[in-house]
């Protein structure tokens, strides 16, 4: 009498279909996660630059109050503008009490991510009120608005 005739043979591994389903699920997850991760990196780079430039705003304010004029790019070394691997900062004087602090991100070959490479972000001091406005350049050199912090929109 055969006792094992009614028993099924135990499976000892994965079928090809099961492996293909797992690979497909991982592919879909990677296709969703990678763009979100790149966007997260770009947002953190923009936030880092704005945090660094906030200290420079204070120095520009002090210079403007002490000298009665907005500094030019020639005085930028005395204002403590940090050198950053992400790009370069510059100052443009518009009038005696207004001007723009501009940061240009470097290319992809530098440390800047692809979403911010060669883009420009600006901090502008308005004449009269002295209020600082955060913005970006328009067109191809402008940052996507979703990369800017909420306080900069």
Q: Which domains does the chain have, with CATH numbers?
A: 17-152 (3.30.700.10)
Q: Could you list the pLDDT tens digit for every one of the 153 residues in the chain?
A: 555 566 677 767 888 999 999 999 999 999 999 999 999 999 999 999 999 988 889 999 999 889 888 998 888 778 888 888 899 999 998 888 899 999 999 988 777 888 999 999 999 999 888 899 998 887 778 888 889 888 886
Give yes or no for a contact between 149 and 44, defined as CB atoms under 8 angstroms apart. no
What are the tokens at 28?
A: 């879909």
CA distance 6 to 110: 68
Separation of alpha carbons 88 and 52, rounded Å: 12
Distance CA 142, CA 3 (A): 77
Coil, strand or helix at 105: strand
Cα radius of gyration (the chain): 27
Tokens of 153: 């929109």
């Amino acid at each position: 009498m055969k006792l094992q005739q009614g028993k099924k043979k135990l499976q000892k591994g994965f079928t090809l279909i099961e492996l293909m389903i797992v690979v497909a699920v991982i592919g879909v997850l990677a296709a969703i996660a990678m763009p979100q991760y790149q966007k997260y990196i770009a947002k953190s780079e923009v936030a880092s630059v704005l945090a660094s430039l906030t200290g420079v705003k204070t120095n520009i304010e002090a210079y403007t109050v002490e000298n009665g004029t907005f500094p030019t790019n020639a005085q930028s070394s005395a204002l403590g503008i940090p050198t950053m691997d992400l790009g370069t900062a510059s100052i443009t004087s518009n009038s005696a009490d207004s001007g723009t602090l501009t940061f240009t991100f470097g290319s992809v070959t530098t440390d800047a991510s692809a979403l911010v490479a060669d883009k420009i972000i600006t901090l502008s001091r308005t004449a009269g009120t002295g209020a600082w406005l955060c913005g970006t350049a328009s067109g191809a050199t402008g940052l996507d608005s979703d990369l800017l912090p909420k306080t900069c929109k």
